[in-house]
Amino acid sequence: MCNQTEYKNKKVLILGLAVSGYSAAKVLRELGAHVTVNDYKDIDTSDEAKDLRSMGITVVSGGHPLSLLDQEIDLLVKNPGIPYSNPLLKEAVKRDIPIITDVEVAYTISPSSLVAITGTNGKTTTTKMIESLLESEAGDGHIYSVGNIGTPSTTVALHSKPEDTLVMEVSSFQLMGTRTFRPNIAVITNIHSAHLDYHGSREEYVGAKMAITKNQQAEDYLIYNHDQLELTNLVLSASEAQLIPFSRKTRLEKGVYLDDGIIYFNDEKIMDSSNIVLPGKHNLENALAAIAVAKLYRISNQAIEKVLSHFHGVPHRMQFVDEISERRFYNDSKATNSLATINALEGFKEKVILLAGGLDREDDLDNLIPSFRNHVKALFTFGETKSKLLEVGKKAGISEQAAFETLSEAVYKAFEISDEKDVILLSPSCASWDAYANFEARGQDYIDTISKIKVNDEKGE
């Protein structure tokens, strides 16, 4: 879709600045909209506020006054993280003001083809795999990874070209704010329970994820995880797109599947799965989904194998950090739920020293018990959930465990008790917001602590 005149002279309220709001405000102003930005925090003296005002954008901060809606607002673009229980949003609903997120704006103004990826886990890794695969034989067009992955989609969408491709990671929060959003290719990596504190129910969460395909038509494609019966039933009943399943467990008549260690697309051999360098069954599933996209783009099998045999992941997602005195450190700070940690643990053949903890969302973490029992030799916890996770460790029979106030303290303790050949893994199972701005900041704290340990180790301290 490409309708860059849709927002001209419209009165648009951006709710929540952050990176996505800042980008959307500037893009909409460039498209001729009358833009007001509102943030709950006091941002009046920030560089971003000054920049926006210099463009003729109104900035209101220090609260969410309902009076903002009295300006005959045509459209509200909200930060994905702001829940719909927010009083201003509830009032906007009463007044029939359309509420969207920035990915909807990006879709409406971009002429490029769109590959959109969602799922409870694996979104970012799959997005980056797809980006790398498409870049390997891109031709004249540019490949851009945007959306929930970090780069705001509106930043790229406005100036993208028809020959370009946007590879967009989209969260359930973003998808709830879509109306016409229609990817040429949609990918659903998996669906499990998550973000129920935001959505209120699993039904709403699943419905938000399925919004990725709600506007797709017969010429579009939906790639999905066939190994999940619930997801299979959902796409069969909800999608008008051409369905391409992927499976790690079952040989398929159509789609991408693993059979005796070989990856196939339909009946065509693609590559040996052992050449995929990222560890773990979950990363194999991510690769299967990415291969499906690559084959739709006619990427050669040689290019696919070359990319996936050199793809070492992305920061904070099963990222190898360093080796110190034959101890290997891995950073999986993006693991903000228990399933992500289970997947991470199952990616190692040896038992690991696990660092876990973070924001307490009142989740039941007992589903970690089997993985803790089978894959964890020592457990060191931190953050709001430190005591809760120790109880899980106790139930799993882990004898070497302790709680710490900070992640850094836990890292030092893990190194202190470790042996040669040990793996020390940060995979928190929890969100980061009890102590950090985001999971990236938490992962960077881990990396920085490892750097200090390395310096001290080299000094013999």
Annotated binding site for ATP: 119-125
The H or E element that residue 227 is part of is none
State the DSSP string of 283-312.
HHHHHHHHHHHHHHTT--HHHHHHHHTT--
Strand ranges inside 248-357, DSSP E: 256-259, 262-265, 268-272, 319-324, 327-331, 352-357
Q: Is 269 helix (H, G, I), strand (E, B) or coil?
A: strand
CA distance 438 to 432: 6
Alpha carbon 235 to chain centroid distance?
21
Amino acid residing at 429: S
What is the rounded CA–CA span in Å between residue 3 and residue 6?
A: 6
Q: Are 399 and 375 contacting, i.e. CB atoms less than 8 angstroms apart?
A: no
Which residue positions form the known binding site? Answer: 119-125
**Cα gap 57→229, rounded to integer Å:** 48
Helical axes 123-136 vs 281-296, angle rounded to 10°: 40
Could you write out the DSSP letters of every residue in 101-152? -HHHHHHHH--SEEEEEE-SSSHHHHHHHHHHHHHHT-TTS-EEEEETTSS-
Q: Cβ atoms within 10 A of the Cβ of 246, count?
A: 28
CA contacts within 13 A on the Cβ side of 36: 19
